[in-house]
Amino acid sequence: MIHFIKGNKIELLRNGSDYFPALATAIDKARLEIYLQTYIYADDETGKLIGDALVQAAKRGVKVHLLIDGFGSKELPRNFLQELKAGGVEARFYRPQVSPWSFKRSRLRRLHRKVVAIDGKIAFVGGINIINDCEIPDKTPPRLDYSLRIEGNLLGQITASVKKMWQRTYWTSSWTSGWTSSQLQKRTLPISSVEVLPDNDVEAAFVIRDNIFHKHDIEQAYLYAIRHAKTEIILANAYFMPGRRFRQALIFAAKRGVTVKLLLQGRMEYFLMFATHAFYNILLKNGIEIYEYREGYMHSKVAVIDDYWATVGSSNIDPFSLLLAQEANVVIRDQAFANALKEDLLSCISTCAHRVNPDRWMIGHRTKRVFSWLAYGLYKLGLGLIGRTNHH
């Protein structure tokens, strides 16, 4: 069971237009320490904006720690990181070695979470990477995505988590080559004080997925809420390839009268994303509504259940997120917040999405169905090669 904490102020941020200015402002106000952890950090306008803010914070004496994934940020120029380091930012890769020929699980265990903790007072948790969220600025809609700005009692858990992750990289970081083992052991993490708010605000839990003690926490949080849903489930997820237990939980919810709406990616970025279509038949036959987001690309990993339970984070509903990657979600029990997220999702469904017609899908879309089963077969083969077939 996850542990909910009262006394939080949580603001929903939609897309980079909300998130990046809020993040830059928080960095500008930092006085003690900053931990920023992300899967993708790009050398573009957004990356430079946040990078400049981090350097300016370091020049003020703030301890700045940047942790980025070695695969997700493999195209980031080394001179960009060197400039950050020269400006006082401690920057490291999580698993910097990337081998295109290896099927080992360790290669796929990536840092996929997007978490920022500042001074023990403000945190950001969500699905937005440090990258321009438009494929072609001013010509394409932004990727649909969300993040949270968090203040209050939950900061203790978030800050402890990012520091623990940072500590683990001391021995594997590509930036520690000049340190001896004795020097590394003497390094200590800065101590921050957490600002505590009265226990009368939003109730929330910080839920992570790692490969040690929290392997199934995010999936279990979803399953518990779905199995106890009474009226409505709205789930928006970019990479939706759920395991058997997850599919059955959604189907059983629909059978007991719960309205289930899935907002999924309508534009295919990768061939393997066609594997999602392999589940359409069984879901549609059981009364689950499927909507494909068509306006632009969707990167969301959020859900609202019964107008009270909500989650925002980095975890997709697929085995790579639920079984391999380092992920972080926040689960919120608050009617006002849940209704705000629900309103935004329903607006996206009504104006930017296309509903998949069950009858037309069953008798048509033969080409899509062929591609979906081909993609699903390749997907299963890949899971078999890394020893994860028992999930489906």
Using alpha carbons, list the distances in angstroms from residue 29 to 26, 54, 101, 222. 5, 11, 44, 35
The question of whether 119 is a catalytic residue gets the answer yes
Contacts (Cβ under 8 Å, ≥6 apart) of 190: 32, 33, 63
- As a whole number of angstroms, the distance between CA 233 and CA 247 comes to 13
- As a whole number of angstroms, the distance between CA 142 and CA 135 comes to 7
Q: Out of 65, 112, 261, 277, pick the active-site residue.
A: 112
Matching residue, tokens 């020929």: 101
Q: Out of 210, 299, 318, 342, pick the active-site residue.
A: 299
Q: Out of 65, 114, 121, 261, pick the active-site residue.
A: 114
- As a whole number of angstroms, the distance between CA 352 and CA 265 comes to 11
The question of whether 368 is a catalytic residue gets the answer no
Q: Out of 69, 119, 133, 344, pick the active-site residue.
A: 119
Contacts (Cβ under 8 Å, ≥6 apart) of 366: none
Q: Out of 163, 301, 318, 342, pick the active-site residue.
A: 301
134, 83, 170, 63 alpha-carbon torsion, rounded to 10°:
-90
Residue 307 DSSP one-character state: T
Q: Using alpha carbons only, what angle is made at residue 312 by residues 308 and 316, rounded to the nearest 5 degrees?
A: 120
By CB neighbour count within 10 A (0-12 exposed, 13-18 middle, 19+ buried), where does 350 fall? exposed
The question of whether 306 is a catalytic residue gets the answer yes
By CB neighbour count within 10 A (0-12 exposed, 13-18 middle, 19+ buried), where does 45 fall? exposed
The question of whether 112 is a catalytic residue gets the answer yes
- Among candidates 220, 264, 285, which has minimal Cα distance to 246? 220
Contacts (Cβ under 8 Å, ≥6 apart) of 82: none
The question of whether 9 is a catalytic residue gets the answer no
3-state secondary structure 85-121: HHCCCEEEEECCCCCCCCCCHHHHCCECCEEEEECCC
The question of whether 285 is a catalytic residue gets the answer no
Q: Out of 43, 52, 201, 306, pick the active-site residue.
A: 306
Active-site annotation, residues: 112, 114, 119, 299, 301, 306
